[in-house]
A and B are shown apart, each in its own frame.
Chain A
Amino acid sequence: MDNIIYAVIISVIRGGFYSLMAVGLSLVFGVMNIANFAHGEFYMLGAYFAYCGSVVFRLNPFLSILFAGAAVFVIGVGVEKAVFVPLRVRSKKNWLMNTFLLTLGISIIMQNLVRVVVGNRNYGLRRGYFQGNMQIFGMGISNDRIICFLISMAAIVGLMLFLNRTRLGRAIRAVSQDATGAQLVGINLGFIYSFTFGLSCALAAIAGACLLFKDPATPIVGLAPLYKSWFVLILVGMGNVGASIIGGIIVGFLETLAVDWLGSGWMDVMSLGIIMLMLIIKPNGLFGKKGVKSAVE
Chain B
Amino acid sequence: MPEKQEGRANTTKRSVTDAFKGLGFSPAGIMAMLILGLMPVYITDNAFLRVMISSMMYGAFAMAFDFTSGFINITNFGYSAFWGIGAYTTAILMMHYGVNPWLGMLAGFLLAGVAGFGLGLLTIRLGGIFASCMTWFLALALFAVATNWVGLTEGSKGMSVDPLIASDSYTGIFYIMFAIVLIVYVVLMRVSNSNIGIAFRAIGQDTDAAQAAGIDPARYKLINFTISCALGGLIGAFYAHFSGIIIPKIFQTSNTVEIMALSYIGGRGSIWGGLLGAMLLLPVMDYMKGMMEWRLILYGLFMILAMIFYPAGLSGLINIVRGHIGRILHLSGKD
Contact = CB atoms under 8 A, between A and B. Distances in A.
A133 interface: no
B299 A108 contact: yes
A276 B136 CA distance: 10
A273 B142 CA distance: 10
A97 interface: yes
Contacts of B138: 272, 276
A194 to B, nearest CB: 17
Nearest to A89: B308
Interface of A: 35, 83, 86-87, 90-91, 94, 96-98, 100-102, 104-109, 111-113, 115-116, 223, 227, 230, 234, 238, 265-269, 272-273, 275-276, 279-280, 283, 294-297
Interface stretch (B83-91, B163-171, B172-180, B290-298): B290-298
Interface of B: 73, 75, 122-123, 125-130, 132-134, 136-138, 140-141, 143-145, 147-148, 207, 253-254, 257, 260-261, 264, 292-294, 296-297, 299-301, 303-304, 307-309, 311
6 contacts: A102-B303, A102-B304, A108-B257, A111-B296, A223-B253, A283-B126
B217 to A, nearest CB: 8
Contacts of B292: 112
Contacts, number: 128
Given A223-B253, A230-B133, A269 B145 contact: yes
A88 to B, nearest CB: 10
Given A35-B129, A97-B128, A269-B144, 5 more contacts: A91-B308, A97-B75, A113-B297, A279-B130, A294-B127
Of B73, B133, B136, most A-chain CB atoms within 10 Å: B133
Contacts of A267: 144
A279 B293 contact: no
B144 A268 contact: yes
Contact of B303 (A104, A111, A276, A297): A104
Given A227-B140, A276-B137, A294-B127, A108 B297 contact: yes
Q: Is the interface of B mostly helix, strand, loop or mixed?
A: helix
Given A97-B75, A227-B140, A83 B128 contact: no
Name the residue among A94, A97, A238, A275 with the largest chain B CB count within 10 angstroms: A97
A100 B253 CA distance: 14
A291 B126 CA distance: 16
Contacts of A272: 137-138, 140-141, 144
Contacts of B261: 105, 108
Given A112-B300, A295-B126, A98 B253 contact: no
Contacts of B297: 108-109, 112-113, 116
B146 to A, nearest CB: 10
Most buried by A among B126, B144, B300, B301: B300
